[in-house]
Chains A and B, each alone.
Chain A
């Protein structure tokens, strides 16, 4: 069975300032997602390149090297008729719903345009169809029609954004931090909705977030990114409960847990490093080496290989001796 989405050695280089240094926001990332309804999380801190990766998948950024295939087609070299097909197949939900909608346009116009122009629904049937999809996200046409974005609360507007994405019956939805603007009590409802749609419509979700606890809650597989590199990728239960890569380990240990009993361990003093991010981006070897407690001289010189450990992939020299490298 072919892969729905495949990334092959994708690299994106950004320049910092006019004559500034160049750094790889996404560095040689390869991923393959089968055509199965699941939720795949790309997690990482700010500056890890997760949003850049999302924008590459959506076709907004053209990678400097490497290629992205969707259903076997190179998405950055699509023909005119294929572009519309791709927009129908792949949809996006963004972080800030108030920034996604033009404040001077009625929310309904977005839904109508998407339904008519992209999903190809007949103009006369559009309203009934929109209403049906809005009901699926817990709203209705009646509540949406004639309103401007500022008349909705953040949670409602994010539901509208979600409905707009669903209108084209996509096979893939890329959701970039869809809940981080929302309050905790509303967040979980939106997250539950993703799970529901995955089952009901058979959609593959790419969920991009820095919040590992919601990632654990809904996703099936996870990729942890650090400075543009996927350091660990595998089933979410394994990666988040028994992390292998030293970065993932530190990350999980440092998460504040909503349980006061875990406090003592968490407060055990850690040493903060004084490493400048810029130097890490241009590091020759492993990007994490300057913070890693297990770093050896090899880590600073050569980038680590992808090592398969059981059913996951870890980018670390620590595991390369025991196991055979993938490539």
Chain B
């Protein structure tokens, strides 16, 4: 079923419970289907609150209340075995999945190190739980390949700058050569020069290890610089998945079109227009296509029925009624 794919997400539906007795919930992920290929850089784009971080958390298998997966499956193929992320228990996820198969670089990565532990001890603790012998030489090599000096291993996190800590968290995530790395807004809190350096490092490691990198960010500039394919999310749906050049040259979904047309560029002062309205409240999402209240092309059917997620050409998917006839 999922032969050549690294990750196969099917019919995923997840909610954040607000009030269980009254059955009030935030419908954060609605019917998401996505194939993530081996060795690619996939960007997940979308505005705040569209569910991109939630999707990443579920793929990583970090589902804690109030987040609840209602249906769907996520199958990860790696090292010749299949992992069904959602049905694994926490112990199994810890033992089999995390760090080796999939690792996660969280948002604000520079603030996740333990302030009372030396950098070295973070690595030692990780290595001790995972492998019979702790090999510090590997760690030193890895640290040096991120452009840091090995002396940082003896430092406490507060002695290092944000960019250095960020690179250490990256090294931690990459130490067991995971097949999938999820980077959730890896560069939102850093300046642009550092952002460039960090993204270059991530790409360099991805090429070297030939693993899959999932980059989640709202910054279309970052996607166009690093991603091979982009999945655009809106209000809990994936509305478009396409190869990067296609998304920027001829965006299909009206939302993607609006988003790309609203981006100002240096060297171009022509007037840009944004989308009218604002994203819906996911406690009570609009019926039919969730984008229809803001869509300039909305038709009758958009208000009634949810558009199917169809493949227009090879590797080019869109969920919009405008494309269903052709």
Residues in B with CB closer than 8 Å to A272 are 147, 163, 167, 193-194, 197-198
Across the interface, do B224 and A257 meet the contact criterion of CB distance under 8 Å? yes
Q: Are B47 and A185 in contact (CB under 8 A)?
A: yes
Do B147 and A213 touch (CB < 8 A)? no
The residues in A between 31 and 58 inclusive whose CB is less than 8 angstroms from any CB of B are 45-46
User: How far is B221's CA from A255's CA once the two chains are assembled, in angstroms?
Assistant: 8
Contact B248 A259 (CB under 8 A): yes
Determine which of A188, A251, A260 lies in contact with B245 in the assembled complex, contact meaning CB atoms within 8 Å: A260
The answer to whether A188 touches B274, judged by C-beta atoms less than 8 angstroms apart, is yes
Question: Cα distance A212–B219 when bound, in Å?
Answer: 13
Residues from chain A with Cβ under 8 Å of B313 in the complex: none
B259 on the A face (CB < 8 A): yes
A275–B258 Cα gap in the complex (Å)?
40
How would residues 78 to 118 of chain A score, 1 for a CB under 8 Å from any chain B CB and 0 otherwise? Answer: 00000000000000000000000000000000000000000
Instruction: Please tell me which one of the listed residues A258, A271, A277 contacts residue B248 in the complex, with CB atoms under 8 A apart.
Output: A258
Flag A138-153 by CB within 8 Å of B: 1 or 0 each.
0000000000000001
Is the Cβ of B266 less than 8 Å from the Cβ of A270? no
Taking CB atoms, residues of chain B closer than 8 Å to A277 are 161
Q: Are B266 and A192 in contact (CB under 8 A)?
A: no
Which listed segment binds B: A8-16, A163-171, A261-269, A303-311?
A261-269
Q: CA–CA, A153 to B281, complex, Å?
A: 10
Q: Which of B16-42 contact A (CB under 8 A)?
A: none
Tell yes or no: A252 within 8 A of B by CB. yes
A59 at the interface (CB under 8 A from B): no
Contacts of B221-255 to chain A: CB distance below 8 A: 221-226, 244-245, 248
A184→B220 contact, CB < 8 A: yes
Contact indicator per residue, chain B 299-326, by CB within 8 Å of chain A (1) or not (0): 0000000000000000000000000000
Contact residues, A148-196 vs B (CB, 8 A): 153-156, 183-189, 191-192
* Contact assessment for A155 and B278 in the assembled complex, using a CB-CB cutoff below 8 Å: yes
A179 to B192, CA, bound (A): 18
Contact assessment for A185 and B220 in the assembled complex, using a CB-CB cutoff below 8 Å: no
Which residues of chain B have C-beta atoms less than 8 A from A188's C-beta? 262-264, 272-274
Encoded as 1 (CB less than 8 Å from any A CB) or 0, chain B from 139 to 177 comes to 000000001110000000000010110010000000000
Cβ–Cβ contact B225 & A267, under 8 A: yes
CB-nearest residue of chain B to A291: B193
Whether B193 pairs with A250 at a CB distance below 8 angstroms is yes
Contacts of A189 in B (CB 8 A): 273-274, 276
Interface bracket on B: 35 or more
B196 touches A184 (CB 8 A): no
The reply on A20 being an interface residue by CB < 8 A is: no
Min CB–CB distance B167 → chain A (angstroms): 8
Please indicate the chain A residues that have their CB under 8 angstroms from the CB of B224 in the complex. 256-260, 262-263
Contact A192 B271 (CB under 8 A): yes
Task: Give the most central of B48, B167, B193: most A CB within 10 Å.
Answer: B193
Smallest CB gap from B48: residue in A: A183
Cβ of A276 < 8 Å from any Cβ of B?
Answer: yes
- The answer to whether A185 touches B274 (Cβ under 8 A) is yes
Q: Which residues of A contact B245 (CB under 8 A)?
A: 260
Chain B residues in 8 Å Cβ range of A267: 200, 203, 225-226
- A216: CB under 8 A from chain B? yes
Kindly state the separation between the CA atoms of A251 and B192 in the bound complex, as whole angstroms. Answer: 7
The answer to whether B267 touches A184, judged by C-beta atoms less than 8 angstroms apart, is no
Residues of chain A contacted by B161 (CB below 8 angstroms): 274-277
Q: Does B293 contact A (CB under 8 A)?
A: no
Interface centre among A156, A214, A260, A263 (most CB of B within 10 A): A260
13 further contact pairs, Cβ within 8 A, besides A188-B264, A259-B265, A274-B149: A184-B220, A189-B276, A216-B265, A216-B266, A251-B193, A252-B266, A257-B221, A259-B224, A266-B225, A267-B225, A267-B226, A272-B193, A274-B164
User: Can you give 28 A-B contacts (C-beta < 8 A)?
Assistant: A46-B189, A183-B278, A184-B259, A185-B275, A187-B262, A189-B273, A192-B272, A192-B273, A192-B274, A213-B263, A213-B265, A216-B266, A217-B272, A240-B266, A251-B192, A251-B193, A254-B192, A255-B192, A256-B199, A257-B224, A257-B265, A270-B200, A272-B194, A272-B197, A274-B147, A274-B161, A274-B164, A275-B161
Interface residues of B (CB under 8 A from A): 47-48, 147-149, 161, 163-164, 167, 189, 191-200, 203-204, 218-226, 244-245, 248, 258-260, 262-267, 269, 271-276, 278-279
Q: Report A's interface with B, CB cutoff 8 A.
A: 45-46, 153-156, 183-189, 191-192, 210, 212-214, 216-217, 240-241, 250-252, 254-260, 262-263, 266-267, 269-272, 274-277
